[in-house]
A = this chain, B = another copy of it.
Amino acid sequence: MPAYAIGFEPLGRKGECLSTQSLLACARQLGVGISAICGGQGKCHSCKIQILSGSVSRPTPSEHEVFSPEELKKGWRLACQTYPAGDCRLSVPPESMTTIQRAQVEGLEIAVRPEPPVQSYRLEIPIPTLAESQADAQRLLEALAQQHGLQCNKVDIDVLRTLSPRLRSWKWQSQASVRQDEVVALGPWPSHHLGLAVDLGTTKIAAYLVDLSDGQTLAAQGAINPQISYGEDVISRINGVMESPALGMKMQKLAVKSLKQLAIDLCTEVGANTEEVVEAVVVGNTTMHHLLAGLPVRQLALSPFVPTVSDALDVKARDLGLHIAPGAYVHLLPNIAGFIGADHVAMLLATDVWQSRGVTLALDIGTNTEVSLIVNGKITAISCASGPAFEGYHIKHGMRAASGAIERVQILDDIVQYQTVDEAPPVGICGSGALDAMAQLYLTGVLNKGGRMIDSHSRVRTRKEQREFILVTADERDGQPDITLTQKDVRELQLAKAAIRTGIQVLLETSGCSEEDVDQVVIAGAFGTYIDVSSAIAVGMLPPLG
């Protein structure tokens, strides 16, 4: 079977690819992170690449659908649909790469008084002499007892491994970080005292560096979950592991690699060392939680959908492959069930809704959306497969809420008013913008009750047998293509909002409540900050509120 030499630009990675192997498969083998949220089935169109030289297989029907003849002529292809027919060199554009994308991490910050499980103490350790030659670890523990009244009895093995030379080079002045009865880190005095908080989403990862002494968030950064190249939702990732068990550990390593890089970037930003991060907290849905911890996931997808573990988990960071402070733990919040994860628990905790009076709906909108109904402190939760439309995927001009994304839309007859992130020239449309657009199109009669687009509006046209509404014309964009919302986009958004609304209805019925009983709706996260609630009600995603 012939094999060809493939070069990936601008990364400069080179490797061999069999003629029976797609360029996406080759990229994965070489560790080139090409986005492929449908798992390489030619459906999501996220793996666009450009052939620079060499010969490849002929375009497939799905490629003809995505690219214009001119684009195909210029070498634009989908990596999952393209097979080499000789040595070739190709370019991976930034938007097709999984690693350099950055996700949105802002949101409403809630002030909390920090009660970190790790505390730091300044120590002056007596210098050993022939008469007082106790072991270094014993002198450390004694100093903690005498100078701070602590009854520690354990020093982490990785702290011990550098203890003796470090104490000597620091002239016996140091800062010890203590968790329960264990010294988990040791630094010179003074050192930072940092915590890492991570929301490990199916699609996006958000990481925050927190000063544990005052609870202040020092820096935040996001990234695309690199596991996305093995499937966009949790079920396709679990299916992947069921077909090939080694994939579980591969996805574990991918997620950790991403966390490592985020930790490095965040620390660099504030001039700290990753060794000064003495605790990490990670939340995610149950599948993300299990994949990160290296736990089995097969049973999550089979009735009765049992997690391996649901209690909170304290795992040494090194046992996950994460390198922060030598003895640091990663705290994983408890999962409630196979599809209600630690991320939802974190949301309930952070928003304080778990102790609210009356009837509250709490939503965490993502590729999986979790909804809790809190009735006088009693919580019932449900998970809905809402898909990634609100995160900008599966929408023709969809994008994350980055600079230039249309985030607000108002339509008056044939006039479209919009607002973009950073007030930059429009580039595409993000979740809140798409929701607004759909609501406005419905309210102005461009969409009927079933979501079908009429064709009598001046801004509606038909392209490739599909109606689409022109939000921004090429004229307004100096000749760049129109930005539209297509009939298919509307269908995707309907699927997402219907999944969420169905979840809400099931919860209300199960709890014997009616829509009118709902006193409060809390929507978590960045999306919750930007969403227009009236649009959400207009399209039927949320019930009418009193």
Is A116 engaged at the interface, CB distance under 8 Å to the other chain? Answer: no
Residues in B with CB closer than 8 Å to A337 are: 133
Q: Is the CB of A133 within 8 A of B319?
A: no
Contacts of A310 in B (CB 8 A): 134-135, 137-138
Say if the beta carbon of A450 comes within 8 Å of chain B. Answer: no
From B133, B160, B303, B315, A157 is in contact (CB under 8 Å) with: B315
Known A130-B303, A299-B168: A135·B319 in contact at CB below 8 Å: no
The answer on a CB contact under 8 Å between A136 and B306 is: yes
Say yes or no: A304-B130 contact (C-beta < 8 A), given A165-B298, A295-B160. Answer: yes
**Contact among B164, B294, B338 with A308 in the assembled complex (CB-CB below 8 Å):** B164
Nearest chain B CB to A218 CB, angstrom units: 29
The quantity of this chain's copies bound in the complex is 2
Is there contact, CB below 8 Å, between B157 and A306? no
Residue of B nearest to A153 (CB): B311
- Are A165 and B315 in touch, CB under 8 angstroms? no
Docked Cα-Cα span, A137 to B313, in Å, equals 11
Q: Which of B137, B168, B294, B298 contacts A161 (CB 8 A)?
A: B294
B164 near A305: Cβ-Cβ < 8 Å:
no
Least distance between A326 CB and chain B CB atoms (Å) = 11
Chain A 329-368 interface residues, beta-carbon cutoff 8 Å to B: 335, 337-338
Contacts of A134 in B (CB 8 A): 306, 310
Residue from A136, A168, A309, A318 having most chain B Cβ neighbours under 10 A: A309
Please, what's the 1-or-0 string for A161-175, where 1 marks a CB less than 8 Å from any CB in chain B?
111110010000000
**Is there an interface contact between A309 and B133, defined as CB atoms closer than 8 Å?**
no
Proximity bits, A144-181, B CB within 8 Å = 1, else 0: 00000000000101101111110010000000000000
A296 at the interface (CB under 8 A from B): yes
Contact B306 A135 (CB under 8 A): yes
The tally of residues in A whose CB lies under 8 Å from a CB in B reads 43
Distance of A299 Cα from B128 Cα, bound (Å):
11
Say whether B308 contacts A163, CB under 8 Å.
Answer: yes
Given contacts A129-B304, A293-B157, contact A138 B168 (CB under 8 A): no
Which of B164, B296, B305 makes the CB contact (< 8 A) with A296?
Answer: B164
Q: Which residues of the partner chain B approach A162 to less than 8 Å between Cβ atoms? A: 296
Is there contact, CB below 8 Å, between B319 and A136? no
Q: Is the CB of B133 within 8 A of A308?
A: no
**B133 in contact with A305 (CB, 8 Å):** yes
Q: How far is the CA of A204 from the CA of B137 in the complex (A)?
A: 28
A426 at the B interface (CB under 8 A):
no
Shortest beta-carbon distance from A182 to chain B in Å:
11
Report B-chain residues with C-beta under 8 Å of the C-beta of A7.
none
B residues within 8 A CB of A306? 128, 133-136, 164
Across-interface contacts of A165 in B (CB, < 8 A): 296, 298-299
Contact residue among B130, B163, B303, B307 (Cβ-Cβ distance under 8 Å from A136): B307
From B138, B155, B164, B318, A299 is in contact (CB under 8 Å) with: B164
Contact, CB under 8 Å: B161 / A309: no
A111-137 interface bits toward B, Cβ cutoff 8 Å, 1 = contact, 0 = none:
000000000000000001110111111
Contacts of A130 in B (CB 8 A): 303-305
| Chain A residues packing against B (C-beta within 8 Å) | 128-130, 132-138, 155, 157-158, 160-165, 168, 293-296, 298-299, 303-311, 313, 315-316, 318-319, 335, 337-338
A-B contact pairs, 9 of them (CB 8 A): A128-B306, A135-B307, A136-B307, A157-B313, A157-B319, A164-B296, A164-B306, A165-B298, A168-B299
Leading 10 A-B pairs by shortest Cβ distance:
A135-B310, A137-B309, A135-B307, A164-B296, A130-B304, A133-B304, A164-B299, A164-B308, A128-B306, A157-B315
